[in-house]
Amino acid sequence: MNLKKLSAVQKARRSSGITVLEMMVAGALASLVFAATAMVWVFSARSFVALGNYGDLDKASRNALDLMSRDIRQTKGLNSYSSTSLTFQDWDNSDLTYVYDANARTLTRQKSGVNTLLLGQCDFLNFNISQRNPSNNFTFYAATNASMAKLVDVSWRCSRTILGSRINTESVQTAKIVIRN
């Protein structure tokens, strides 16, 4: 009779709790679930920040291109040119200059002593000038000097850093702007 009572007590002890092995397996599974959840959360947060940065960069690029297009179309002509700067004679006979500073990563508009920042965080910017008449292969003839220029080709690429690395890069913006006067 003692044996039956003893076996009943042993059965009760075995069914009343969990073993160390079961606890280790449950802990490992919970760790995997928490790690997967954290990875999804970090990826989602990074994606939302990248999407917001892309929208900001695109907005700044569109605004800069709109302002440059309006200004360049109204100028009387190009006075001087380099791949990083353009100086025009504006409609009011004052100088209008666009300057790209590669070290500061900025594009600046200069007119009548007022400097306006058009683009920041700009990794690359290039100006080219051409004549207005196209060649047979749908490109434009290059202008040999600033006075012959009637078409300005501008292209740039901007980027920002996310969590310490430059991973959010806007696609290259490019435009051909005709000097109308």
Q: What is the pLDDT of residues 43-83, one digit of tens each?
A: 898 888 888 888 888 888 999 999 999 999 999 999 999 99
Note whether residue 4 is domain-resident.
Answer: no
- How would you label 29-39 residue by residue, b for 16+ Cβ within 10 Å and e otherwise? eeeeeeeeeee
Note whether residue 2 is domain-resident.
Answer: no
Note whether residue 45 is domain-resident.
Answer: yes
- Partners of 176 in the beta sheet? 153
In total, how many domains does the chain have?
A: 1
Note whether residue 3 is domain-resident.
Answer: no
Q: How far apart are CA 121 and CA 86, in angstroms?
A: 20
Query: 36 lies in which domain range?
Result: 10-178
Note whether residue 154 is domain-resident.
Answer: yes
Note whether residue 5 is domain-resident.
Answer: no
Q: What is the pTM of this model?
A: 0.74
